[in-house]
Amino acid sequence: MPHRLLTNNRAWAAATHARDPGFFTRLAQQQNPRYMWIGCADSRVPANEITGLDPGEVFVHRNVANVVVHSDLNALSTIQFAVEHLKVEHIFVVGHYGCAGVRAAMRGIRVGLADNWLRHVHDVRLRHRKRLDHLQPQEQEDILCEMNVIEQVGNVALSTVVQDAWARGQTLSVHGWVYGLRDGLLKDLQVTMDRPDMVVQVFSDAIKRYPRQGGPTAPAADEAHDESLY
C-alpha cells in the first residue's frame, strides 16, 4: 500500500511539472499564501482540493471538530505564524456536516481521549441548547456544526493575535464556512469579521438566525446567556 502512494506521488509531480515547469522552483523559494484554513482533521475535507487551490496557496491547521480555544498554543502559534509572518489576508474556520466529533458532543457518545477535547463543542451545545433540543436528530447535528463554526470564528477574532493585527492596521478577515460531504459544496455562514468593533455584534446576529424553542417569549435573561460568546 505505501508503494502505491509513492507511485501516485511521482505521477502527480510529473504531471504538475509538465503543466507548469517552474512550479516546484517557485514553491521551494517562498511560501506566500493569502489564506489560512482552520478545519477538521477529517480525511474527507482536503482544503486545497475542494477550493481548487495549489500547494502553497493555503496555510492549513486542522484538529478534531475545527476547535480554536485560547489555551491551545498549537493553534494559536499557527495562527500567529500565518498572520505575522505569512501576512495572510483571510482566515477561514471550516466545519463540515457529518462531523463525528460534533455528533459525539451532541449525542454524549464516548470516543476516548478526544472526549476531553470535545468538551469545547459540548459547551457550545449547552450554551445554545434552546436552539437545538427541539430539533430532529440530523438537524441538531447539522445546526451544531454551524454553531460550532460561528463560536470558533469568534474565538479566532478575539485572540490576541488577531486583535493585535487589527490594532496595527493589518488587513485581515475571519470567515466561517461549512462543507457538505454529500454535495461537495461550501456554505458561507455570513459571520465575516474584519475589525474588532464588529465581533460581538456579528456573533449575536448570527446566533439569532437560529430559532429558539419557545420563540420570542423566552425570558430575556435566558436569551442573553444563550447568545453570549462565553
Q: Are residues 42 and 135 in the same domain?
A: yes
Instruction: Determine the Cα–Cα distance for residues 93 and 65; give it in Å rounded to an integer.
Output: 10
Prediction pTM value? 0.91
102 contact partners, CB below 8 Å, separation of at least 6? 65, 95, 121, 141, 144, 145, 148
Q: Are residues 115 and 196 in the same domain?
A: yes
Number of domains in the chain: 2
Q: Are residues 90 and 203 in the same domain?
A: yes
Q: How far lies 7's CA from each of 20, 48, 155, in Å? A: 20, 21, 41
23 contact partners, CB below 8 Å, separation of at least 6? 16, 17, 54
pLDDT at 228: 56
Q: Assess whether 182 carries a catalytic annotation.
A: no
Q: Are residues 173 and 205 in the same domain?
A: yes
Q: Are residues 74 and 47 in the same domain?
A: yes
Among 62, 99, 125, 212, which one carries the catalytic annotation?
99
Q: Are residues 70 and 57 in the same domain?
A: yes
Q: Are residues 44 and 14 in the same domain?
A: no
- Nearest 5°: the CA angle 216, 219, 221 is 125
Q: Assess whether 129 carries a catalytic annotation.
A: no
Contact 156, 162 (CB under 8 A): yes
Q: Which residue in 198, 140, 205 sits closest to 172, CA to CA?
A: 198
The boundaries of the domain holding residue 194 are 33-226
Q: Are residues 200 and 108 in the same domain?
A: yes
pLDDT at 229: 53
Q: Are residues 197 and 91 in the same domain?
A: yes
What is the residue-level pLDDT of the chain in tens, covering all 230 positions? 789 999 999 999 999 999 999 999 988 987 899 999 999 999 999 999 999 999 999 999 999 999 999 999 999 999 999 999 999 999 999 999 999 999 999 999 999 999 999 999 999 999 999 999 999 999 999 999 999 999 999 999 999 999 999 999 999 999 999 999 999 999 999 999 999 999 999 999 999 999 887 654 444 444 544 555 54
Q: Are residues 163 and 194 in the same domain?
A: yes
What ranges in the chain are assigned the alpha helix state H? Answer: 2-19, 23-29, 47-51, 73-80, 100-107, 114-117, 119-127, 137-158, 160-167, 199-208, 220-226
Among 26, 44, 70, 209, which one carries the catalytic annotation?
44
C-alpha cell at 123: 459547551
* Sole residue written with cell 442573553: 224
Q: Are residues 20 and 43 in the same domain?
A: no
* Sole residue written with cell 484538529: 63
Q: Are residues 18 and 47 in the same domain?
A: no
Q: Assess whether 90 carries a catalytic annotation.
A: no
C-alpha cell at 95: 466545519
**From its phi and psi, is residue 214 left (phi > 0), alpha (psi between -120 and 50) or beta?**
left
Which CATH number is 145's domain given?
Answer: 3.40.1050.10
Among 42, 128, 131, 212, which one carries the catalytic annotation?
42
Q: Assess whether 20 carries a catalytic annotation.
A: no
Q: Assess whether 42 carries a catalytic annotation.
A: yes
Q: Which amino acid is at 180?
A: G
